[in-house]
Structure 1
Amino acid sequence: MSQLLKRSEVPVEHRWKLEDLFADQQAWDKEYEETKQLAKQIAKFEGKLNDAKAIKECFELEDDISLHAERLYVYANMRHHEDMADPTYQALSEKTQKLSVEVNEAMSFITPEILTLSDNKLQELVNDPQLANYKKTLEDMLRQKPHILSKQEEALLAQVGNLSQAPSTIFGMINNADMKFPKVKNENGEEAELTHGTYIQFLESRNRDVRKNAFETMYATYGKQRNTLASTLSANVTKNMFYAKARKYPSALEASLYGDKIPVDVYNNLIAAIHESLPLLHRYMDLRKKLLKVDELHMYDLFAPLVEEFKMDITYEEAKKTVIESIAPLGEDYRRILEEGFDSGWIDVYENEGKRSGAYSWGAYGTHPYVLLNHKDNLNSMFTLTHEMGHAIHSYLSDNNQEYRNAQYTIFLAEVASTLNEALLMDFMLKKSTDPKQKMYLLTYYADQFRTTVFRQTMFAEFEKIIHEKAESGVSLTHQELSKIYYDLNVQYHGKSMVVDKDIEMEWARIPHFYNSFYVFKYATGFSAATSFAKQILDEGAPAVDRYLGFLKSGGSDYSIEILKRAGVDMSSPEPIRQAMSVFESLIEQMEQLTK
């Protein structure tokens, strides 16, 4: 498709059917008015939440309001994403934003009021059969209670909220607005813009001088701001320590994991299991050096392509067919849902003028999920399709097996279903491939996912843990301190085959995720859990599939770690990481075979 179609020109079979959510604008307007009226009714419970009957009625109304608000919000925004320039849906999206704020304000008294009850009374409510549907909500409140402060203190903390955004806001301004990079030479020897967006493209260049130049220029530019950037990151760590202390948590790490009830062991086990597997990453570095035919492997060689570009033209119809074949190990029920998604208007397929970029899976409880794509006829788009359908089927099974309140799964679990589908697609493609070039292309694509998603994100997670521990023990986080910690980790992770260039010591300064602290480890655990599931499914068959489908049906009905454990993946042990690493090892072995 050379010329982008206008939204109105997109054939109906390539559009999602949003009328399954609301038949027309009138239906939306009617529900909007009803929701505004419903939100006013919640106030009648204020000051009365002291017995099971009142709490049950209040929770039921809260669910009713939330579900309506969610439906309105999702519809308005998905319409807006079809064509971001269309003013009608821009306005509708803003309207639902305001409604969400109103609704949240109206319901904000519920949790604090219930938390004024005594521990004994709360424990009684947790076990009250009338409140069986809300057991997890009440357990959560009871668990959070020691960390909730008095009304005045909570009000004070709420006011500090704006202040606490400062490190992240300042970093965003330096990084996105003020940081200007010198021009660098591209592959044709012409001066070209170096930006956050083009940096990776330069690192993926086949010309080594282009890679080296972009790499050195990038970090030299950050180096000029090293004092400011160290102060900004240090301030973010101080903020985390302040909240942990104020809310009576033993450390910033424990404070951040407490919400999802993730034991600190999960975080520490990930790091320990990856340390144990570093020889595999070192072996992959050896192989990378050999394939690139270089005397020394440098940090700027990590993204350089290892094989000739292998062009795979895969139409959307072929992609669907391949994805259906690849998920065969998940059984008949899963396949049926996937085909229903393909045939029943869940997916918005191609790019059109004004359409939001990227891809996602979204939806509202009570209606099937939706998937937004911008499909190109290539390998990447096929992986995106199976990834997003993994999310969609997770939501579909959660919604169909759980009450509204328990259907929403956590971020900790979200990436498992999508990544598992990718693992099965990769396994299917590798088994089917007869062309050594194609096979090598697939193997390097997959091996690099392990490197970037498991090893690199774990290294980031370890860096965050070290700098918080240092700060908690009174060490000052100067740029020298941060750079030394970061450089040493790179040496440890990449091994002896690698020349760890001094410039890399400034990389900590450009990672936005460090301002969303202790988040990146979820990429590594999610990828490992998915790889472990895929291995069990391919090795064991039916029993593993049943456990996995049980996981997809659980939604958020229990804590993430428990849901995974029941399905056969215990993230509090190093076992799933070891299983994922055995898959990584087999990729390296296959690549070594092909290079002999």
Structure 2
Amino acid sequence: MKSVKRHELSREEVWHFDDLYANDEAFLKALAESEEKATEIASYEGRLGSSPELLLKALKEKEALALLSSHFLAYSMMKSDVDTKDQEALSLNQKAMAVEVRNGEKLAFFDPEILSLSSEYLDKAFSDCKELERYSVYIKDVRRLKEHTLDKNAEKLLASAQSMASGPYQAFSMLQNADLQFPSVEMNGEEIPVSNARFVPLQTGNNRPLRKAVYEAFYKVYQDHRNTFAALFDAQLKQQYFFAKARNYPTAFAASVGEVDVSEKVWDHLISAVHKKISAFHDYVALRKEMLGLEDLSMYDVYAPMVKDYEYHIDFEEAKEVILKGLKPLGEDYQELLKKAYSEYWIDAKENDGKRVGAYCNPVFGVHPFILMSYQGTMDDLFTLAHELGHAMHSYYSEKEQGFLNSQYKLFVAEVASTTNEVLLLYYLMEQAKNKEEKLYLYNHFLESFKGTFFRQTMLSEFERKAASMLEAGEAITADSLEKVYHDLNSYYFGPDMKIDDLISVEWSRIPHFYYNFYVYQYATSLAVSCAIAKRILAKEKGALEQYKKFLSSGCTNDPVSLLQLAGVDLSTEKPMVDAISMFHSIVQEMRDLYHKA
């Protein structure tokens, strides 16, 4: 099957970049304008405390620059992501990032100077100039990080280092998306192409010899580049640790959670809950082995449907309608926003040659969210679309109620709306199941989704933290050392019924999220939160929907744990994680009972 070139797709199948800029010339003009604005703001250095009115003016101009930057960074990144082989788009992206670094250097004085202002002065400034209240959240957050903010010269140096800090991910992305070449697999006289985008769909088929062949061909390519990937990850860990130490944090993870205003105890609660109840996941693996009828369950059987004779395919237009129905409990306003996303080309769903692997939603304030994916018609794709639409709706609600700065919710809560969409959609589909086979299939999907979002992401997070701890303790980061950690974690998580081979030990090398600064565990905590929210909404618990909408509309106006408490969930305890695992285990037991039922 020949890959489609980007230019072969119609305007109705792709993003409309002119929603952002009419053309590349307009984009380049915005870059130049941003540098002029940054120079103007730099002229305020040493004067922020001269009057409340000048402070307000400087904050307004800084916000305007941040908005402009978000637009040109989005434009250039997305143009490159839809075709990573497009050298012109790559050049635009590099120009945008270079300008962003230069602008950051010019504005490096800003936060240290805010911190130099006394509490008494700021209190009086807010009293004398009521319009400053618009920036109270921003100033509060700056002051919260006082002990981790350096003087203006040091901040300028760190800002200038950002372009180097992004190097490991940029190199990883180009290697994975543009340079790796995968062989085709021959099966029954047919040449089947293997790629990053096709790997998981090919692993979900019922043809076990094909799954094995694809698995081996795919991971052999990563294995052949294991040392390069290890060197890139080593560089990523080092740059994270460098910035953490520079900002007076003991570890890179402490810096990561500190920046988003979350306690390390949340991660501790997650790991504690999973370790206490890991037998629930082992029961799932045992059920998988039984339903697949295998003596040896292998890692290329992980994605295979446990319901062998049930085929599911859904085209893109039908998927959009099913999502509308599944998310009906979220209210009419939510329905209208989904329709808006469909009709205004928020979604770039067609696969094309060179398109970035995976899916994401990039909310662009004042324009609309942009969703990227490569839709193949599987149930996973259906749920991926619902997931990314959740991100879009979260951003839309927050932007509607908050200004630009206050709408930028912390990464810690970024996965809540997306996974809530998934849970609600799943319950809808299970209610619509017409027979035993369809219900078993949906049970299978639920367990697979939970496995991938909760148990797998927790395992990846443990790997990420172990690797960071190794580096911070002065241990060597090599392909061998990383593969040993990854192998041992797979053995612990999957338990005695899974045969752990050598190839799975290199899987860590293909995970882009390891370059996102300890992001992955938030998928797991978010799923636990989403299970609780969805349960409240479906039970029509008084105030549940209104509380959830309040959370969606709150942006970054409080710390993440407090915002989630608005939605009725408390992550200061293990309970949400324990409850979510218990729900998973109950579905395992229900599926086993239904499977054995005549």
When normalised by structure 2's length, the TM-score is 0.81
Residues 85-108 of structure 1, C-alpha deviations (whole Å, 9 max, x = no match): 999999998887777566555544
- Name which of structure 1's ranges 24-33 and 232-241 shifts more when overlaid on structure 2: 24-33
Distance across 1 between alignment mates of 2:15 and 2:509:
41
* Mean Cα deviation higher: 222-231 or 394-403: 222-231
2:304 aligned counterpart, secondary structure: coil
Structure 1 residues 155 and 337: alpha-carbon distance in aligned structure 2, compared to 1, 3 A threshold:
closer
Distance, in Å, in 1 between the alignment partners of 2:496 and 2:143 is 50
Root-mean-square deviation (CA, aligned residues, Å) is 4.6
Instruction: State the alpha-carbon separation in 2 of the partners of residues 407 and 371 from structure 1.
Output: 18
Cα offsets for 1:327-376 (capped at 9, x unmatched): 22223333344345455x35457749899677654454345545567666
Distance 1:242 1:62, change over 3 A: closer
Select between 519-528 and 394-403 the one with higher mean Cα deviation: 519-528
1:236 and 1:515 in contact (8 A); partners too: yes
Distance between the aligned counterparts of 1:6 and 1:470, measured in 2? 42
1:589 counterpart residue number:
589
Deviation at 1:27, TM superposition (A): 9.9
Change in 2 beyond 3 A, CA 1:408/1:213: same
Partner residue, 2:252: 252
Q: State the alpha-carbon separation in 2 of the partners of residues 143 and 560 from structure 1.
A: 14
Q: Partners in 1 of 2:234 and 2:83 — Cα distance?
A: 41
Whole-angstrom CA distance in 1 between matches of 2:223 and 2:317: 49
Please give the alpha-carbon distance, in whole angstroms, between the structure 2 residues aligned to 1:299 and 1:352: 26
Q: What residue is the counterpart of 1:401 in the other structure?
A: 401
5+ residue gaps, structure 1: none
Secondary structure in 1 matching 2:265: helix
8 Å CA contact retained: 2:112, 2:150:
no
* Contact 1:127–1:135 (CA under 8 A) maintained in structure 2: no
Deviation string, structure 1 residues 120-146 (Cα, Å, up to 9, x no partner): 656776888643221221122222221
Task: Answer yes or no: is 1:262 the counterpart of 2:262.
Answer: yes
Look up the match of 2:308.
308
What residue is the counterpart of 2:48 in the other structure? Answer: 49
- Which residue of structure 2 aligns with residue 295 of structure 1? 295
Aligned equivalent of 2:112? 112
Superposed displacement of residue 482, structure 1: 4.1
CA contact (8 A) 1:10 1:352 kept: no
- 1:132 and 2:133 aligned: yes
**Counterpart-to-counterpart distance in 2, 1:142 and 1:573:** 27
Distance 1:361 1:127 in 2: 39
Per the TM alignment, residue 309 of structure 1 is displaced from its structure 2 partner at its CA by: 6.1
Q: What are the within-5 Å matches in structure 2 for residues 142-541 of structure 1?
A: 142-154=143-155, 157=158, 186-188=186-188, 200=200, 203-204=203-204, 206-212=206-212, 233-234=233-234, 236-308=236-308, 310-312=310-312, 314=314, 316=316, 318-342=318-342, 345=344, 347=346, 351=350, 360-369=360-369, 371=371, 379-473=379-473, 475=475, 481-501=481-501, 503-541=503-541
Whether the 8 Å contact between 1:532 and 1:577 is mirrored in structure 2 is no
Letter in structure 2 aligned against 1:564: L
Larger Rg: 1
Contact 2:461–2:520 (Cα < 8 Å) also in 1: yes
Residue 260 of structure 1, CA deviation = 0.3
Structure 2's unaligned 5+ residue stretches are none
Q: 1:259, CA displacement in angstroms? A: 0.7
For normalisation by structure 1, the TM-score amounts to 0.81
In structure 2, how many angstroms separate the alpha carbons of the residues matched to 1:233 and 1:37? 36
Distance 2:224 2:21 in 1: 54
- The structure-2 alpha-carbon separation of the partners of 1:30 and 1:147, relative to structure 1 and needing over 3 Å to count, comes to closer
Going from structure 1 to structure 2, the CA distance change for 1:347 and 1:373 (only over 3 Å counts) comes to: farther
CA distance in 2, matches of 1:521, 1:149: 29
Q: Is the 8 A contact 1:298 1:499 kept in 2?
A: yes
CA–CA distance in structure 2, aligned partners of residues 350 and 453 of structure 1 = 22
User: Kindly tell me: are residues 395 and 438 of structure 1, through their superposed partners in 2, closer, same or farther at Cα, counting changes over 3 Å?
Assistant: same
Amino acid at match of 1:561: V
Work out the CA distance in 1 between the residues paired with 2:256 and 2:313: 44
What amino acid is aligned across from residue 462 of structure 2 in structure 1?
Answer: E
Give me the whole-angstrom Cα distance separating, in 1, the residues matched to 2:366 and 2:196. 40
Corresponding letter in the other structure for 1:42: I
Contact 2:313–2:379 at 8 Å: present in 1 too? Answer: yes
1:136 maps to amino acid: V
> Does the C-alpha gap of structure 1 residues 237 and 309 become closer, same or farther in structure 2, counting only changes over 3 Å?
same
User: Are the aligned partners of 1:115 and 1:141 in contact in 2 as well (CA < 8 Å)?
Assistant: yes
How far apart in 1 are the matches of 2:555 and 2:16?
A: 24
Give how far 1:284 is off: 0.8
Q: Which amino acid aligns with 1:451?
A: K
Aligned-residue offset at 1:459: 1.0
Name the stretch that deviates more: 506-515 or 536-545.
Answer: 506-515
TM-superposition CA deviations, 1:275-322 (whole Å, max 9, x none): 122111111111111111111223332123323364445455543433
Report how far residue 402 of structure 1 moved.
0.9
Whole-Å separation in 1 of the counterparts to 2:595 and 2:121:
68
CA contact (8 A) 2:348 2:372 kept: yes
Alignment check: 8 A CA contact 1:454 1:523 kept: yes
Describe the SS at the equivalent of 1:421.
helix
Q: Which moved more, 1:81-90 or 1:292-301?
A: 81-90
Q: Secondary structure at the match of 1:489?
A: helix
More displaced stretch, 505-514 vs 397-406: 505-514
2:222–2:509 CA contact under 8 A, matched in 1: yes
Distance 1:380 1:520, change over 3 A: closer
Letter of the structure 2 residue corresponding to residue 250 of structure 1: P
